[in-house]
Amino acid sequence: MTDPANNPAPKAGIPARLHASPLSAGMVVPFVTLAHTDRTRPIWGKLDPDRVQKAFKDRLCQICGDPLGDPFVVYIRPYDFRTGVAVEAGLHPECGQYSTAVCPMLAGAMDRHNPNPLTEFRRCDDPACTCALWRAAERDAGDPVREGTPAEAWYEASISLADYKIVTNPSDQHDAPAVGISLRPPTRIGRLRKIRDAAPAPDSERHIDPLAMTMAVREFFGLGEHH
């Protein structure tokens, strides 16, 4: 989740499923967000790689950390759909609804990715906390640069637990390596709806949106967003 403290988005009621979750500035701290041992002290905008891996492996919701129900949802960009991998962990529908209300990127409150990513971390005095080991992730040469780039369109896709499969895309001359939930056949995407539009971008940076095309085809055949 992007830093909501620096980029305020519309407030939302906290669903009952999240009442026991840690809060910071009145907002739920997602299970996958990097945080001190005291999880009311998160590092907004940074993910805990161990928790992300656990969420994928154990089929946990990235917001509450509980096992996913059936169906669950994922939040994806056209790029994810094209490569066939949802790089964000799954969510309960109600946790997803909360996330789309408070996350500035999903809520449309940010038009560009943060141009100044955090490179240093504030340490705490808790000897049990692992913050002393935190380091800014080094970008692989093949990774795309996102800082300062226009925000992409985001979609919510509903998937059955029967189709839950973790896949890995190796890097090539076009794409960086990716690990996540498979969007490839035979995975069936149920309900599909757009969460936010892409931010304005120069013509040279615009790309065909295969998810918009998929939704248009569904509408043409009367399938709508409920199938």
**Domain-wise residue ranges, the chain:** 16-220
Q: What is the pTM of this model?
A: 0.84
SS3 155: strand
Q: How far apart are CA 183 and CA 80, in angstroms?
A: 8
Q: DSSP 3-state assignment of 14? A: coil
CB 112 within 8 A of CB 149: yes
Each residue's pLDDT, cut to its tens digit, for the chain (227 residues) gives 555 555 444 445 899 999 999 999 999 999 999 999 999 999 998 999 999 999 999 999 999 999 999 999 999 999 999 999 999 999 999 999 999 999 998 988 887 776 556 667 888 999 999 998 888 765 554 445 555 578 899 999 999 999 999 999 887 767 778 999 999 999 999 999 999 999 887 765 667 899 999 999 888 777 665 44
**Residue 48 and residue 33 in contact, taking contact as beta carbons nearer than 8 Å:** yes
- Cα–Cα distance, 23 to 39 (Å, whole number): 8
Look up residue 198 and give its DSSP letter. Answer: P
Q: How far apart are CA 211 and CA 43, in angstroms?
A: 31
* Strands 42-47 and 154-159, sheet pairing: unpaired
